[in-house]
Amino acid sequence: MLCYDQISGVDRILLMRKVRRAKFSSIVQKIVASLTISCLITIVGRDQVLAGSNSKPRARDLGIQIGVLKPGKWNAITDVEGVKVGHETLVVGENIRTGVTAILPHNGNVFQNKVPAAIYLGNAFGKLAGYTQVEELGNIETPILLTNTLNVPRVADALVEYMLKLEGNEQLRSINPVVGETNDGWLNDIRGRHVSKEHVFNAIENAGSGTVEEGSVGAGTGTICLGFKGGIGTSSRVLPEKLGGYNVGVLVQSNFGGILEINGAPVGRELQNYSYHNRIEYADEDGSCMIVVATDAPLSSRNLKRLAKRAYLALAKTGAFSSNGSGDYIIAFSNYTANLVSNESEIKAYQVKRLRNDQMSPLFMATVEATQEAIYNSLLQATSVRGRDGHEIKAIPIEKVVEICKKYKVLNWQKTLPTYRKENE
């Protein structure tokens, strides 16, 4: 158990803020507020925080502001209306540290109303399933699932079964499951392929809108990023009305190496933890990053691929260099309602609304900003994890990160530097 008096001052404030935001019962709120309990956060195994009670800060809680555009209400991929996210986390015994994460593009049956989509291959050392049909037809017809490398076939099979059982899909004879992955084999018994059909179904059926659980959860349970514990992270941007008013949301599964930078501050070097540094005992220069970009802007699959390419730029801004063994994929989709592709329509030709090419640049900027911040959130929200064969990866030391960011004057830029002012909207 982790006791309240063992939490740092910064984390205590953030914990109380988290409790106030959470939909806890009034009884629990009173208990927390009065601090009459000595232990608040239940730990499963060693360092796994109870789902929904993560008190760790996100980037903006620490004053780390990325870019000039504003985030949405949740600062998450779910700020794109209709998008839902669900996790199933497996922490079993000493060696199983893995899971699955589901991203639902809209509230309906995705096969019956497909979303325009594209996939960009940054460095294609990976086992992403479903790429070729998306490349050929320009749409996605299932929820997007993320898991570990060796579980891709099992997860894809479960996703197919789930879709076959959906009402309206009784005559379905072909389906293209989209499943991304990163390799969590340092912390997880990856050869055991422990993610089952039930886990996949749970992740999809329990997916929700609003706040998104981040860090060492779902497909991010066993991942490592930039020398520290990685995981799931998310962020969003809302364009000003003059630039279209569209939303862009990003979710990442971070599992890659490099030299961590935060707004240019050399955090990885200051902490002496980065690729090829002699303190790192595993081959951390390799790894992968799955990035999912959602928008409500009316984009063609061609412009969605252009959008996806911009997310790749954000990896470099965090200190990644896309190593030989890094499977870096970006999946982008638009759930603009009028452009959904109906499976049953008898109309041979249909009209769609598409944003002009010369209106894409603000969305490009929003994508870079949201992806960069999502990666930082995946690090900051992650908890230390001990797993397979006693391997342990520590969470990034947040108080030291704040000290370094203060040293290089990269905090609270919204107070000291110009941003996109309200009067310009």
Q: Is 231 exposed, middle or buried (0-12, 13-18, 19+ CB in 10 A)?
A: buried
- Tell me how far apart the 2 most distant CA atoms of the chain are, in Å: 67
Indicate which residues carry an active-site annotation. 288, 326, 328
What are the chain's domains? 1-41 (no CATH), 58-424 (3.60.70.12)
**What is the structure's pLDDT at 281?**
55
pLDDT in tens, 254-284: 999 999 999 999 999 999 887 766 655 554 4
Low-confidence ranges of the chain (pLDDT < 50): 1-53, 283-284, 423-425
Residue 143 and residue 330 in contact, taking contact as beta carbons nearer than 8 Å: no
Rounded Cα gap, residues 157 and 159, in angstroms: 5
The position carrying tokens 């900027």 is: 365
**What is the structure's pLDDT at 40?**
29
pLDDT in tens, 44-53: 333 333 333 4
Residue 235 and residue 371 in contact, taking contact as beta carbons nearer than 8 Å: yes
Phi, psi of 286 (to 5 degrees): -90, 175
Residues 6+ apart with CB under 8 A from 62: 380, 398, 401, 402, 405, 411
**What is the structure's pLDDT at 325?**
83
**What is the structure's pLDDT at 228?**
95
Burial 32-53 (b: 16+ CB within 10 A, else e): beeeeeeebbeeeeebbbeeee
Q: Is 5 exposed, middle or buried (0-12, 13-18, 19+ CB in 10 A)?
A: exposed
The residues that bridge with 146 in the sheet, in sequence order, are: 101, 180
**What is the structure's pLDDT at 176?**
98
Nearest-10 Cα torsion for 318, 321, 323, 327: 50
**What is the structure's pLDDT at 278?**
63
**What is the structure's pLDDT at 38?**
30
What is the token pair recorded at 257? 């190496």
